[in-house]
Structure 1
Amino acid sequence: MHRPERVPNRWLVAIACTVLQLCLGTVYAWSYFQPLLVEQFRWSNTDTSWAFSLNICCLGLSAAWGGVNLARIGPRKLAVAGGILFAAGYALAALALAVKSLPLFYLGYGAVSGIGIGLGYVTPMTTVIKWFPDRRGQLTGIVAMGFGLGAFVLSVLLAPVLMRLLAGNLTLVFAALGAILGSVAIASAAMLKNPPEGYLPQGFVAAAQKESQSEGPYARAEQEADLPLRDYLLAGQYAIMWFVFFLNITAGISIISFLSPLYQDIWRLDHPTLDRTVLAGYGATLIAVSSLFNGLGRIAWGAVSERIGRLNTFRVLFATQLVVFGLLMTEQNPWIFAALVCYVLSCFGGGFAIMPSMVSDVYGSKRMSRLYGVILTAWSAAGVVGPLMVAHIKDSYPDRAVIYAFLLNILVLGIAFTFSFLVNDERFVPRRILFQVFAGTAPDKGKDAARD
């Protein structure tokens, strides 16, 4: 006799997704280790930044591959594989520090760990949307918040404690982090699974049926239409969404990659005699506090997008950050500077909460994992451009690094704000989709996006 499949509590799945994201999100505490690596190993800012850039680059590329293959492999296998590679990357990084090998550090922390994070990152986002069709914006915001809070956990709890217990030995610190974070990540990944076919949460069935009865022929046809993946990827609409996402990430990740040393520079302007350990403490504190805003911004901006639409929310992010970066260029008060940076990080996190729902809204939930996975290659590109841009400026113009970095981000966000008005332009919707719309075999997703 065939037993019906036992459906797990969807909130337990959501918690596992969030914990997994929290472990993987510790990568955003990179600037905690950046000055320590420069000081102890005599590597330049640009040299060490390549490790972080490679990590984010491999993260986005592996997330894209994982998103395309998620349905075939399954969320549990993909996430567990990601957790194992994540831990292995830290182990290789520890070995690299022991033998003082920068290329091996690139391989471990940059490539292997980055691939692991990417495989792990894409899985919770797509899984939780399937479990919560009634709360997409809220739950993607909560799960994305976990990734944003990872830097807080590492910079406030794990890293300082391990640095004290292990007498500042970075080799042992990286090995311990790999063991601790890897174990928690793998255990959380093992709890991930898709809901049964046709699953709808209790109380949502009636609403879904009512909505189906009121749908027009184009909306109902959307559930059946499914063009080849390349038709969506090569469309102007998708390219513009990718570009807008890339620019928002570039502005935020350029700050994240050098947050601690940049903040220490601000303190030195008015307090040149401060001890290095005190300055490092200030830098670590800002990493922790800004990571909270990174996490909370994902919930807050995700909720805002439910009310005013995904594109309108992106425009608010871009417009307000233009003003904030303008203020940051001349602000020398460390407290005001910190507050402005926290706002930028909330906008950075907000983009990651909005984009999954935006992709699902525009292209449909059944295509979400593939299309969202590929759009994460914007994260890869931004992870190279943003940090290396700031590293080059800091090495070349140490006294003007803050002003030049923020000026470039103003340019980046200005371009993003302009391009956001092209996303819903029907000229960029795939032609085959438009043909099917007017033929009555697919919905007018361009117009849906415009309403959003």
Structure 2
Amino acid sequence: MDNTKKAWLVVFSGLGVNLTLGVLYSWGIISAALIDDFNWTATQTQIPYMLASAVFAITMIPGGKLQDRFGPRPVLFFSSMLAGIGFVFSGLNLTVAGLTIFFGLVFGLAMGFGYSSPTPAAVKWFHSDHRGLVSGIVVSGFGLAPVYIAPLTSGLIELFGLPIALMILGFLFFLIVFTLSFFISNPSDGFEKVKLKKKSRRVHRLATKDYKLTEMIRTSQFYMLWTMFFFGTFAGLLIIGQMSKIGLEQASISNGFLLVVVYAIFNFIGRVTWGTISDFIGRTATLFTMFAIQAVIYFLFSSLRNPLALLIGKSIVGFTFGGMLAIFPVITADFYGVKNLGVNYGVMITAWGVGGVVGPLLGGVARDVTGGYEISYIVSAVLSVAGALLSLIVKHPEAVNNKAESGGA
């Protein structure tokens, strides 16, 4: 098999892994069943989800470090085992404590180790002109997963009940991730990166060295990017965790998995689209555009009271949120190099984990206390405006260093 075919095999195998682990974005189906069939409160349903999001992000750091050092295969094998255990034992322990441990902690670990490997591996195979496209394809699996997982989960719950449904999903996830782990690898040293026929029309400023983690976190740009990542994902994660109930209570949409599927499709489209756009107009210009769109839709969100309007609004949120997950791996690679991308992006994506805790918590508490989500929407809109402003300020660390050294104003 030639190198180009190997590179694309890594990309689409990584897409398959993320299609499997993206069950997190179908949590709205599970949380609705917990409320309706097991009398959980909205806040209680967000505890396992919040912990899974946090553990997912934190585990990206050791997962990324292991990926950089040993390659993705052993990391993905470990992820497949944790995914199976997490879901099977969640089905056997349908309590707040049980799901917090087995979904929140164990499956959160599976996601962290599983997600940390495919994107850095795929990006390392391709020329920098195509990082946005490649990253967008790989991470799109996580966003697209609810298209099949939501109706599958809903159908399994209807046929067998929630406990058996979770156990079936556990066996399925183990088999898929385990199999795909054999097709994902890092390129060898000295490998000539794959270039596509269609070239980017923009020259991207790249790191002239591979930054170690300790060097990256000493730059001010890291903290600006981290904050922007948090702002960008906070709003999307708030919506995902409460999707079915928002649809029902705000626009009388009773078909919960329809909302999940529509959101997922646009999340998928956003990841590939914004990743590709960033190859042409630049990463920060793309981030500004996404934040601006997100701000507008969140200021309008509480007024979206009919089903079509709410579907359009959620689609736009999914479109911009998906783009965030495609852009931040490649802007991390552009700013800090690809050699240590696994661990560097692992630290960067902790912003997603914090957003995964704060966003759903605010959504759940706001719903329980006020009976609606208006406060959450306003907070999300304001943070999106702040993210847009930061995207106008952040510059490549080496551009700032060169300017300082030359004494330029």
The one-character-per-residue Cα deviations of 1:187-206 (angstroms, maximum 9, x if unpaired) are: 1122211122211256679x
CA deviation map 1:31-71 (0-9, x unaligned): 01112101222221111101100001000000122112322
How far residue 387 of structure 1 moved from its aligned partner, in angstroms, is: 0.2
1:126-275 pair list within 5 angstroms? 126-133=120-127, 135-156=130-151, 158-166=152-160, 169-201=161-193, 223=208, 225-226=209-210, 228-268=212-252
Change (3 A) 1:9 1:227: closer
For residues 340 and 5 of structure 1, do their structure 2 counterparts lie closer, same or farther at Cα, with a shift above 3 Å needed?
Answer: closer
- What number of residue pairs does the alignment pair up? 402
Mapping 1:282-321, distance limit 5 Å: 283-321=256-294
Distance 2:303 2:68 in 1: 49
Matched, 1:67 2:67: no
Structure 1 residue 231: deviation in Å?
2.5
Confirm whether residue 402 of structure 1 aligns to residue 357 of structure 2: no
2: CA distance, partners of 1:367 / 1:51: 31
Q: Taking structure 2 as the reference length, what is the TM-score of the superposition?
A: 0.91
Structure 2: 5+ residue stretches without partners:
200-204
**2:353 maps to 1:380:** yes
Distance across 2 between alignment mates of 1:310 and 1:37: 40
Partners in 2 of 1:414 and 1:203 — Cα distance?
A: 36
Aligned counterpart, 2:394: 423
* Aligned equivalents of 1:389, 1:396: Cα separation in 2: 10
Over 3 Å counting, the alpha-carbon distance change for 1:124 and 1:228 in structure 2 is closer
> Which amino acid in 2 is paired with 1:125?
T
User: In structure 2, do the counterparts of structure 1 residues 164 and 329 end up closer, same or farther at CA, with 3 Å as the change threshold?
Assistant: closer
Task: Measure the CA separation in 1 of the matches of 2:213 and 2:365.
Answer: 37
What's the TM-score, normalizing by structure 1? 0.83
What percentage of residue pairs aligned between the two structures are identical?
A: 28
Q: Which residue of 2 aligns with 1:105?
A: 99
Query: Structure 1 CA distance, aligned partners of 2:31 and 2:130?
Result: 38
1:434 aligns with 2:401: yes
| Contiguous gaps of at least 5 residues in structure 1 | 208-217, 269-278, 440-446, 448-452
Between the aligned partners of 1:6 and 1:333, the Cα distance in structure 2 is 51
8 Å contact kept, 2:120–2:338: no
> The residue matched to 1:196 in structure 2 has which SS?
coil
The AA in structure 2 aligned to 1:173 is A
Cα deviations by residue, 1:210-251 (Å, 9 ceiling, x for unpaired): xxxxxxxx98xx65x455422211321101100000110001
Which AA in structure 1 matches 2:46?
A: S
RMSD, matched Cα = 2.7
Tell me the secondary structure at the aligned position of residue 198 of structure 1.
coil
Give the Cα separation in 2 of the matches to 1:85 and 1:143: 21
8 Å CA contact 2:237–2:356 kept in 1: the answer is yes
CA distance in 2, matches of 1:204, 1:6: 12
Which is worse superposed, 237-246 or 66-75? 66-75
Equivalent residue number for residue 412 of structure 1: 383
**3-state secondary structure, aligned to 1:365:** coil
1:124 maps to: 118
Which amino acid counterpart does residue 114 of structure 2 have in structure 1?
G
Amino acid at match of 1:19: G
